[in-house]
Structure 1
């Protein structure tokens, strides 16, 4: 685990906080941002960067989700429930974003040795454990079957998942991204995704195995800790935990160079999204 710790220890951590200001931006903005930061951090023109972000009701699909046989019906259902739908450019399957879900992206430069994929996941896992250490509950990293977007680095307490981690690699930059269900009902979010799959698949055999959602295996941190947590509480915990690892921690924004890079990356994710969703 020392290697993961080394990864968190950076001379400088720039923090770009969009947990309030980005709520009503389309979530594609966030994927364009992370690609931009991968490029600038990866080429060494920017320091290691942490970005926090929250979006209003949005379902983020994975590429495999777009191959569901009755996708249109599933998309109509989500739209009727008041959700925007986008497709992301990193791996994984459908996840729910809303105002009770805090997303954190850690963007590292990949040096000559490279960053082993598990090392990136472990670094995020360690950071989350540090943030919630006072609750004295064991946070495990293992696949939670029946959850949405299952993976070997699902974070859970007592078998109930509250977070999922993904990675995106681009131009020597590595973005490790996590969604944390801070408050609200984890099982209601899971039930929404379960209904989406059931309408989009209708029990048909598919080459790809989609998850059979069991809402009870998912919960929010507020539910798991029996505490009234807010996104801003968790933001504070995150900044304190990261500050312990940083030579210098400071709030920043995109540089002028990054802002022009962003235009291109945002255009790319938007165009690709329109092509994939065809709507």
Structure 2
């Protein structure tokens, strides 16, 4: 059995679904949730966990995005398009979250074995491949030039990106996160971010090189596979996959015993976000 298979085939998986409840909440709450789970899983206070989450009409900006010369103009543009911009206090660049985008976090412990960064990414790649047998080996992981928030583990089919993968490490817990564009138009989401950068830069020279976005290199899974998936269909698939990968699946959100720790991480996320925005 390979290292990836060992990491995916847990004796017990915890599953926390926020694909419905998260729509009305700030994406900052999702960052706190993953920090909480990293702590709990890393300290062996919870089994390995998969969390699914969806947010309505949000653009999550990275630290570099907030340093755009005309960032306020860019954010105001997003608001006129019906999107709420927020800034995360971590790396990465702007991504679009809406009701057609499913976010998945896989939280694993490092207590028994070290998990390097490439292995973390490979775990998510394999998980996504298992979720979409229709893709039949077509999913590739490499940087898609012209996409928003480009990275070495952009997931694509035929050169068109439908997902991006990132990692968060805390207290011997690792959260590997992916956004999956399931429904809607990938190119329309990309056009929104292209315009954001155009308005945020306005021809000024910048120290940081922002992506030159080409909307045609992004697509949704429905566009790529000629399917009619809904986000909820993929959430069901995830539950079924976890049942195949373990003896026990515990459906559990934050428990009363975990609430104080969650509030600690939530306050920390809010404070860090506020401090960063004041710079």
Q: Which 10-residue stretch deviates more, 116-125 or 231-240?
A: 231-240
The alignment partner of 1:46 has SS state of coil
* Regions of 4+ moved over 6 Å: none
Give the distance between the partners of 2:179 and 2:252, measured in 1 at CA: 21
* 2:78 aligned with 1:106: no
Deviation at 1:137, TM superposition (A): 5.4
Partner of 1:150: 150
Q: Is the 8 A contact 1:31 1:89 kept in 2?
A: no
RMSD: 1.5
* 2:70 aligned with 1:92: no
Structure 2 residues without counterparts, runs of 5 or longer: none
* 2:46 aligned with 1:31: no
Scaled by the length of structure 2, what TM-score is found?
Answer: 0.96
Partner of 2:252: 252
Partner of 1:221: 221
Deviations along 1:225-264, one digit per CA (max 9) or x if unpaired, are 1111100111122222222222311211212232111111
Partner of 2:52: 52
Partner of 2:184: 184
Structure 1 residues without counterparts, runs of 5 or longer: none
Partner of 2:127: 127
Give the distance between the partners of 2:276 and 2:189, measured in 1 at CA: 24
Give the distance between the partners of 2:137 and 2:233, measured in 1 at CA: 18
Partner of 2:19: 19
Give the distance between the partners of 1:74 and 1:254, measured in 2 at CA: 35
Q: Is the 8 A contact 2:129 2:137 kept in 1?
A: no
Scaled by the length of structure 1, what TM-score is found?
Answer: 0.96
1:233-244 mapped onto 2 (5 Å cutoff): 233-244=233-244
Partner of 2:140: 140
